Amino acid sequence: MSKSVDMAVTVGADRPVRLKNPVIAASGTFGYGLEYADQLDLGAIGGFVTKGVSLKPRDGNPPPRICETAAGMLNAIGLANVGLEVFLGEKLPKLRKLDTAVVVNLYGEAVEEFAELARRLSEAGGVAALELNVSCPNVKAGGMAFGCAPGPVGEITAAVRAVTDLPVWVKLTPNVTDPVGIARAAAAAGADALCLINTLLGMAIDARRKRPRLANLYGGLSGPAIKPVALRMVHQVSRAVAIPVVGLGGIVTGEDAAEFLLAGASAVQVGTANFLDPAACLRVAAELEDFCADQGVTAVADLVGGLAA
Ligand X SMILES: Cc1cc2nc3c(=O)[nH]c(=O)nc-3n(C[C@H](O)[C@H](O)[C@H](O)COP(=O)(O)O)c2cc1C
Q: Which of 199, 236, 238, 266 contacts ligand X by CB under 6 A? A: 199
Q: Indicate whether 157 belongs to the interface with ligand X (CB under 6 A).
A: no
Which range in 24-32, 159-167, 186-194, 202-210 contacts ligand X by CB under 6 A?
A: 24-32
Residue number, nearest CB to ligand X: 28
User: x/- string (CB under 6 A) for ligand X, residues 135-154?
Assistant: --------------------
How near is the Cβ of 75 to ligand X at its closest, in Å?
4
User: Least CB distance from residue 180 to ligand X, whole Å?
Assistant: 19
- 40, 77, 153, 166: residue in contact with ligand X (rule CB under 6 A): 77
Among 12, 19, 21, 27, binds ligand X (CB under 6 A): 27
Clarify whether 136 is annotated catalytic: yes
SS3 per-residue string spanning 134-178: CCCECHHHCCCEHHHCHHHHHHHHHHHHCCCCCCEEEECCCCCCC
Nearer Cβ to ligand X (5/238): 238
- Rounded Cα gap, residues 129 and 104, in angstroms: 6
* Pairing verdict, β 200-203 and 218-222: antiparallel
Residue number with CB closer to ligand X (27 or 216): 27
Can you tell me the distance from the alpha carbon of 86 to that of 180, in angstroms, rounded to the nearest whole number? Answer: 36
Let me know: does 56 contact 206? Beta carbons within 8 Å. Answer: no
Residues 242-261 as x/- pattern, contact with ligand X by CB under 6 A = ------xxxx----------
Angle of the 280-295 helix axis to the 254-263 helix axis, nearest 10: 70
Choose, by CB under 6 A, the member of 26, 121, 214, 261 that binds ligand X: 26
Interface with ligand X, residue 271, by CB under 6 A: yes
Closest CB 161 distance from ligand X, rounded Å? 19
Rounded least distance, CB 95 to ligand X, Å:
16
Residues 123 and 140 sit within 8 Å (Cβ to Cβ):
no
Pick the binder of ligand X from 5, 32, 51, 111 (CB under 6 A): 51
Which one of the listed residues 67, 136, 148, 281 is annotated catalytic? 136
Q: Counting contacts by CB under 6 A, is residue 92 touching ligand X? A: no
Binding of residue 104 to ligand X (CB under 6 A):
no
Contacts of 268 (CB under 8 A, 6+ apart): 22, 23, 24, 246, 247, 248, 251, 257, 260, 261, 284
Question: Does residue 171 bind ligand X (CB under 6 A)?
Answer: yes
CB 50 within 8 A of CB 88: no
Report which residue type is found at 180: V
Q: Is 75 in the site for ligand X (CB under 6 A)?
A: yes
Q: Are 106 and 163 in contact (CB under 8 A)?
A: no
The residue ranges that bind ligand X (CB under 6 A) are 26-29, 51-52, 75, 77, 79, 105, 133, 171, 198-199, 222-223, 226, 248-251, 270-272
- Residue numbers annotated as active site: 136
